[in-house]
């Protein structure tokens, strides 16, 4: 067996910042500490924090008045911030700056009275947060068919935005359909799909022809991880989206395959290495690391945490 380890893979700058923020908040304020939605969409990460006294909530009303709450990397709507202020919560904003960029674009387009067509997945935390910035202006589109079904005139004043964790190829197809339907549509000055999502997809696209099977470390509710598995399948290769090696069917390997291993932007490297170690032990696999693109991006901690240490809290 041969393992091809795709680079880049795993944690992106936004996830690193969000997890470091929660670690720092635990140091400073201690448990219990509340997080609005999952800190990132990864089951092992969430479970690890849950064991340390972090409580993940889906409704801001679940946070006791005066408590500390951290907003996840996916961002929140203004109504959530207002409700937190009303409940006198100490709020720490760990929203990924690339998600914040989309929020600001939504506010700008809404002020200019555009109908904003948001390309994304219904119910995703990021989509809910972005929509909350201008709910009366934003309409969600998830497919070319939904673009065609829009009840807007061809000369409508429209703009588009995208969820940051989409498939680049799928988003481009929908954007092309929007431009055909609305020739005067405007969009962001730069792509909303985040650098890490694009880079991980690019690595899979380039390496998947050399593989027989693809393992994507990531959780089922992780949008960008799902896109990696889908991308592998579109190239005709079986792909498994797993939290750990224990999630794999026992009979999925013959033992002489080339296995491409990657990880979504919210999946910890320890799960990748656990997977590699298991395949080495079981099949004597040898590993080849392949770097398609270098990443050197980092984001600062939220301003609420930058000046804090456990000693002065």
Per-residue pLDDT tens for 114-132? Answer: 999 999 999 999 999 999 9
- Shared domain for 36 and 109, answered yes or no, is no
- Shared domain for 203 and 271, answered yes or no, is yes
Q: Could you say which of 126, 133, 257, 304 is catalytic? A: 126
Kindly state whether residue 313 falls inside one of the protein's structural domains.
Answer: no
155 pLDDT tier (thresholds 50, 70, 90) = confident
What residue numbers bound the domain in which 149 lies?
98-181
* Cβ–Cβ < 8 Å for 192, 104: no
145 pLDDT tier (thresholds 50, 70, 90) = very high
Give me the mean pLDDT over the 170-191 stretch.
Answer: 93
- Shared domain for 60 and 105, answered yes or no, is no
Q: What is the pLDDT of residues 271-297, one digit of tens each?
A: 999 999 999 999 999 999 999 999 999
- Shared domain for 116 and 171, answered yes or no, is yes
pLDDT at 310 over 90: no
Give me the mean pLDDT over the 90-101 stretch.
Answer: 96
298 pLDDT tier (thresholds 50, 70, 90) = very high
pLDDT at 313 over 70: no
- Shared domain for 212 and 285, answered yes or no, is yes
Q: What percent of the chain has pLDDT over 90?
A: 93
Write down the pLDDT at residue 225. Answer: 96
Kindly state whether residue 312 falls inside one of the protein's structural domains.
Answer: no
Kindly state whether residue 186 falls inside one of the protein's structural domains.
Answer: no
- Shared domain for 41 and 91, answered yes or no, is yes
311 pLDDT tier (thresholds 50, 70, 90) = very low
Active site (annotated) includes residue 20:
no
Kindly state whether residue 66 falls inside one of the protein's structural domains.
Answer: yes
Write down the pLDDT at residue 308. Answer: 63
Kindly state whether residue 213 falls inside one of the protein's structural domains.
Answer: yes
Write down the pLDDT at residue 312. Answer: 46
Whichever domain contains 251, its CATH number is: 3.40.1010.20
Average pLDDT, the chain: 95
Count the domains in the chain: 3
Q: What is the pLDDT of residues 7-45, one digit of tens each?
A: 999 999 999 999 999 999 999 999 999 999 999 999 999
Q: What is the pLDDT of residues 61-84, one digit of tens each?
A: 999 999 999 999 999 999 999 999
Write down the pLDDT at residue 154. Answer: 83
- Shared domain for 221 and 250, answered yes or no, is yes
């Amino acid at each position: 067996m041969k393992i091809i380890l795709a680079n880049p893979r795993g944690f992106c700058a936004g996830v690193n910042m969000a997890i470091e923020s929660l670690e720092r908040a635990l140091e400073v304020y201690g448990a219990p500490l509340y997080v609005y939605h999952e800190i990132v969409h990864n089951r092992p990460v969430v479970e690890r924090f849950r064991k340390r006294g972090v409580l993940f909530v889906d409704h801001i009303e679940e946070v006791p008045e005066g408590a500390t709450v951290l907003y996840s990397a996916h961002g929140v709507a203004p109504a959530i911030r207002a409700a937190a202020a009303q409940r006198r919560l100490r709020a720490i904003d760990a929203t990924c700056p690339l998600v914040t960029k989309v929020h600001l674009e939504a506010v700008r387009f809404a002020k200019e009275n555009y109908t904003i067509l948001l390309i994304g997945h219904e119910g995703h935390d990021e989509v809910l947060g972005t929509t909350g910035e201008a709910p009366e202006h934003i309409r969600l589109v998830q497919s070319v068919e939904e673009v065609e079904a829009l009840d807007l005139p061809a000369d409508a004043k429209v703009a588009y935005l995208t969820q940051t964790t989409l498939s680049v190829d799928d988003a481009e197809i929908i954007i092309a359909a929007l431009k055909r339907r609305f020739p005067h549509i405007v969009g962001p000055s730069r792509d909303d799909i985040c650098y890490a999502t694009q880079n991980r997809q690019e690595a899979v696209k380039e390496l998947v022809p050399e593989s027989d099977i693809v393992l994507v470390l990531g959780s089922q509710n992780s949008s960008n991880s799902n896109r990696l598995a889908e991308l592998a399948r579109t190239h005709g290769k079986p792909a498994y989206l797993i939290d750990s090696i224990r999630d794999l069917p026992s009979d999925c390997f013959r033992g002489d395959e080339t296995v491409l291993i990657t990880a979504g932007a919210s999946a910890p490297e320890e799960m990748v290495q656990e997977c590699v170690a298991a395949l080495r032990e079981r099949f004597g696999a040898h590993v080849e690391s392949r770097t398609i693109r270098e990443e050197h991006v980092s984001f600062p901690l939220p301003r609420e945490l930058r000046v804090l240490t456990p000693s002065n809290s």
